[in-house]
Amino acid sequence: MFKIFRLELYRSIFNIRFLVALITGCTLSILQYYHTVIPLSRELEIYANADKGLIAIPNPYESWIEADFFCSYSLAFFLMLPLLAAFPYGISYFNDMKSGYIKSIITRSKKTNYYVSKCCAISISAFLVIVVPLLLNFFLASTKLPLIAPDVSTSASSIRQSSVLWSIYYSHPLLHTMFFILLDGLFAVLFAFISFIISDIVEHAIVALLFPFILNVFLLAIFDTLNYSEASSIYFLRSGWEISYWYIIIAYIVAILGATLGVCYFRKVKKDVF
């Protein structure tokens, strides 16, 4: 199994799709940094000379890409997150089926080994193309703005006492930031899994690739219409958004992981490839 995993991991990272997705994510990350953080850093002296308590000094926790709700580059990144996550390796199963590659693999090893290795490789590639740009953006913001904890009295953030993890945000903001970076990486994996599980259902690779993105936009439109925006991943995956209920996140994770495991077992492992 290790040989198959090593091969799948190599295929998932050392390919042009992974490079394109990573460069796209990092580009949006850097553009947000120049659009929002750089102008704020130039005004630090003004903030420092202002009367204390009347104005909040800019800090990375309230200005980086996850907390910036006024920058189009930030919106573009989270809108494209499902597409970026699935682009490197999400449709690799579709390509393996069409090329006959999967037949040559499962004749030499168990199908379970192939699918476990495939899921691990998809997870790693999707996680990296989202987490790396986020880490880059926060690092850049931290080099220009002081790493001071957000002040709840300034109302500079939408995080309130009804928000999930609000106490951590104001007492240990770096821990709060790391949590959301990992959460975004987890959902990147889940979105890539969506492309994977429908790869043998659709007839065209582009459909499998775009499906997580289209589904995400569709849910955004539905939840916005119902005045329940926090149920959309475009919002709750951002550290600056107020999340009131844990069950929203848990529901997504359980639904997608359940669908992935179910489809892998009944449609892929039990299904005759030949």
DSSP result, 78-89: HHHHHHHHHTTT
Task: Answer yes or no: are the C-beta atoms of 1 and 117 closer than 8 Å.
Answer: yes
What's the rounded Cα separation, in Å, for the pair 3 and 6? Answer: 5
Going from N- to C-terminal start, the domains of the chain cover: 2-269
Task: Answer yes or no: are the C-beta atoms of 35 and 71 closer than 8 Å.
Answer: yes
Q: Which residues lie closer than 8 Å to 69 by C-beta, 6 or more apart?
A: 75, 158, 238, 240, 241
- Give the per-residue pLDDT at 144: 92
- Give the per-residue pLDDT at 117: 92
Q: Which one-letter amino acid corresponds to residue 232?
A: S
Listed residue (122, 141, 181, 134) closest to 22, CA to CA: 134
Task: Answer yes or no: are the C-beta atoms of 230 and 243 closer than 8 Å.
Answer: yes
pLDDT digits (tens), the chain, 274 positions: 778 889 999 999 999 999 999 999 999 999 999 999 999 888 776 666 655 555 667 889 989 999 988 899 999 999 999 999 999 999 998 888 888 888 888 777 788 888 889 999 999 999 999 999 999 999 999 999 998 888 776 666 667 776 778 888 888 999 999 999 999 999 999 999 999 989 878 889 999 999 999 999 999 999 999 888 888 999 889 987 877 778 888 999 999 998 888 877 766 555 655 4
- Give the per-residue pLDDT at 115: 87
Task: Answer yes or no: are the C-beta atoms of 181 and 141 closer than 8 Å.
Answer: no
A 10 A CB-CB count for 187 gives 24
- Give the per-residue pLDDT at 46: 67
Task: Answer yes or no: are the C-beta atoms of 192 and 122 closer than 8 Å.
Answer: yes
Place of tokens 């997705």: 21
- Give the per-residue pLDDT at 99: 85
Task: Answer yes or no: are the C-beta atoms of 197 and 259 closer than 8 Å.
Answer: yes
With vertex at residue 62, the alpha carbon angle to CA 57 and CA 67, rounded to the nearest 5 degrees, is 160
